[in-house]
Amino acid sequence: MSKPEVRARARASAVQADLHYQPSYPPIERGASLLLAWRLDGRRVLLIGGGAVAASRLGFLLQSGAHVTIVSPGPLEPSIAYRVATEPDHITWHDRSYGSSEGGNVSADDELPVGDYDMVLTAVDDVALSRAVCLAAREARTPVNVADVPPECDFYFGAQVRRGPLQAMVSTSGAGPKIAVIVRDLVADAIPDNVEDAIDGVGKLRTELRERAPGVGGELSKRRMRWMIGTCDAWTLGEMGAMKDEGVRKRLLDDGWEKNKVLGPEAVGVGSGLSARATKALHGAAGLWAAGAGGLVTGAAIATLATLYFVRR
């Protein structure tokens, strides 16, 4: 056996030995969607349809800052008509049908080709037209969503809840939209009323910390991340709202960050409460207890009630 072959076998044996001592990792479960927060501010979106389903899409698109081109003959669904009248800088409406469904071909609509947009959505009853739009969009590499036809969707909307900057989405990858809505409502009920204050306070603290310790990567960046995580673990959501106060943030940075310490709320004069770590532990315990209480929805409901009890005290 040649020396290169000996070295190759030695390396293979070393790799196998390393794998033998690695901890067991969970199996990969295929079939999930990649959940992302997609930034559409200033992007162009084509929305084909002017009914109730299109209306449900339009609100999300406008909240994201997109410019929406709507193609649909009037009369429009009332909420869409209202948005067209009150959001002229963000909506362009073409009072006509899109393309042609003859032979499933949309090429006739040369005025508004799908490739000119960053995203395309159809919400019409014309199955042939929707399929043709989907094929044209995929050929143009434009992400497309065909309402109520999961195989012809590159992305799903899911069931969403928003509290200021906080957004949460529950998705079943199009398999059970009603289940997603039920779980979404449970999640929404479990979110503390003052979560916006917590996000505002932590966001300001994080910004001021980055001003004191700028940069990406390296030991300083790692230390900054560890300190922020430790600080958030030491505060409950209800207490984090106090970080909106400039004096509280200054004490956390001067007496905490600068001295390499994590300070809890009591250390800076904020009222004490159940620790964030304890709340998380109780939440996890409630979820495990609820799992045997009779299925997904029942278990989630019990876990939510337990979480609400502990978080809102």
Q: Does residue 300 sit in the same domain as residue 252?
A: no
**Phi, psi (rounded to 5 degrees) for 290:** -75, -25
User: Which domain CATH number covers 116?
Assistant: 3.40.50.720
Calculated CA dihedral for residues 213, 217, 222, 224, nearest 10 degrees: 20
Is the pTM higher than 0.75? The answer reads no
Q: Does residue 101 sit in the same domain as residue 146?
A: yes
Nearest to 300 by CA among 164, 170, 174: 170
Residue matched to tokens 């996890």: 284
Q: Which residues are catalytic?
A: 148
pLDDT at 152: 93
Domain-terminating residue out of 104, 129, 157: 157
- Residue 21: inside a domain: no
- Residue 92: inside a domain: yes
Residue 165 to residue 115: CA distance in whole angstroms: 31
Q: Does residue 202 sit in the same domain as residue 300?
A: no
**Phi, psi (rounded to 5 degrees) for 154:** -85, -15
- Give the pairing of strands 159-163 and 119-122: unpaired
Q: Does residue 257 sit in the same domain as residue 298?
A: no
Domain-terminating residue out of 138, 157, 176: 157
pLDDT at 140: 95
- Residue numbers of the domain that contains 227: 195-268
Distance of CA 288 to the CA centre of its chain: 25
- Give the pairing of strands 144-146 and 159-163: unpaired
- Residue 48: inside a domain: yes
Q: Does residue 239 sit in the same domain as residue 304?
A: no
pLDDT at 308: 40
Cα atoms in the 13 Å half-sphere on the side-chain side of 193: 2
How many structural domains comprise the chain? 3
Q: Does residue 73 sit in the same domain as residue 142?
A: yes
Q: Does residue 48 sit in the same domain as residue 153?
A: yes
Q: Does residue 98 sit in the same domain as residue 60?
A: yes
Domain-terminating residue out of 100, 130, 157: 157
pLDDT at 6: 64
Q: Does residue 116 sit in the same domain as residue 200?
A: no
Per-residue pLDDT tens digits of the chain, which is 313 residues long? 677 676 777 676 665 555 555 678 889 888 888 888 899 999 999 999 999 999 999 999 999 999 999 999 999 999 999 999 999 999 999 999 998 766 556 655 778 999 999 999 999 998 889 999 999 999 999 999 999 888 999 998 889 999 988 999 999 887 888 999 999 999 999 998 889 999 999 999 999 999 999 988 889 999 999 999 999 999 998 899 999 999 999 999 999 999 999 999 999 999 754 444 444 443 443 343 333 333 344 344 433 433 443 343 3
- Residue 184: inside a domain: no
pLDDT at 12: 64
- Do 56 and 63 form a contact (C-beta atoms < 8 A)? no
Q: Does residue 283 sit in the same domain as residue 239?
A: no
Length of the chain: 313
- Residue 3: inside a domain: no
- Residue 120: inside a domain: yes
* Tally of CB atoms within 10 A around 223: 13
Helices (H), 48-169: 52-63, 78-86, 127-139
pLDDT at 293: 36
Residue matched to tokens 């929805």: 297
Strand partners, 68: 45, 91
pLDDT at 287: 41
Q: Does residue 205 sit in the same domain as residue 260?
A: yes
pLDDT at 5: 72
Residue matched to tokens 């109520």: 148
Q: Does residue 260 sit in the same domain as residue 280?
A: no
pLDDT at 298: 35
